[in-house]
Structure 1
């Protein structure tokens, strides 16, 4: 079971060693699946200020609009992005809400706290937690996200392991708002014929269905 996070003061004292942070290079793409119609639409390059809702939302309670706190989720590959978005139904629906697959590269290297043991880091253990952070109830992982956000101004976000595809995922704080490119590498609707083969392969790998 994942314990509550230490105080912000204790986390500051713990610090972050060089090997406990990942550098997301400008050559490394990030992938996102996002709706373009419906009630929860955000541009591909916008942080969500409504929360907390998901695992590493650092928004304060109560749930609501928090303009000073933004979060943006992405994955290191398209399969990871698809796995996370369609985890509840395990059906990759290429049509509802006109979802797009967007890939981009950030305009500067990002410094991300590794909480998933992606590198050689064991920061989460040294800080008094454990690797259950990737799968703990959202209420508890959000507490850790708030503490990390408050304790480490120099961190752009969190790198963690996706629960379903197992690859690297990222949760980026509002500090990265000015670091998106003017245009993405690619941004296509999931219904685009050119993506059908890639989506079918991802669905087969994950044991998901696709429509």
Structure 2
């Protein structure tokens, strides 16, 4: 069998070098993008679960909705009664169940900022398509605009009150929460945990 020509030999060696070189190049990976994308997707899914609670209160005519989000690794609500809030300010308890809803995740300022912005977007859309048409000032007939013989000023058209949409505010913060429990001996004790307090208010 004849040996390969010089051209065939060099081409084969170059091909093998390219294959060997390709295996050494690691796949590009941006940890910053991965963290940001995963965090945003998770917060959006949480907002989708919370939005019906806010909508139900809005349908009931309540201008303020306060939700207390208990991370998945904080189960104090299952063991006791929430204390530390006035009777008319007790928040709606929401026990987060997802494995990613830990205290470690929600204590990140970026996660809280995302929760605030995503909830604001959900409850206060910026599209003008949903805004009611503004009333216009009725015009007077031409005769009413003329000045009378006695120099009186023309009649002014009646003022029309414009009802504007009330502004919506969303506040999010991490805070300590306390639950009172009773043991088998009838003694009370207080459990402390961390939770996210979310407030949506129409002013």
Q: Does TM, scored on the shorter chain, surpass 0.5?
A: no
**TM-score with structure 1 length normalisation?**
0.26
Instruction: Point out the structure with the larger helix share.
Output: 2
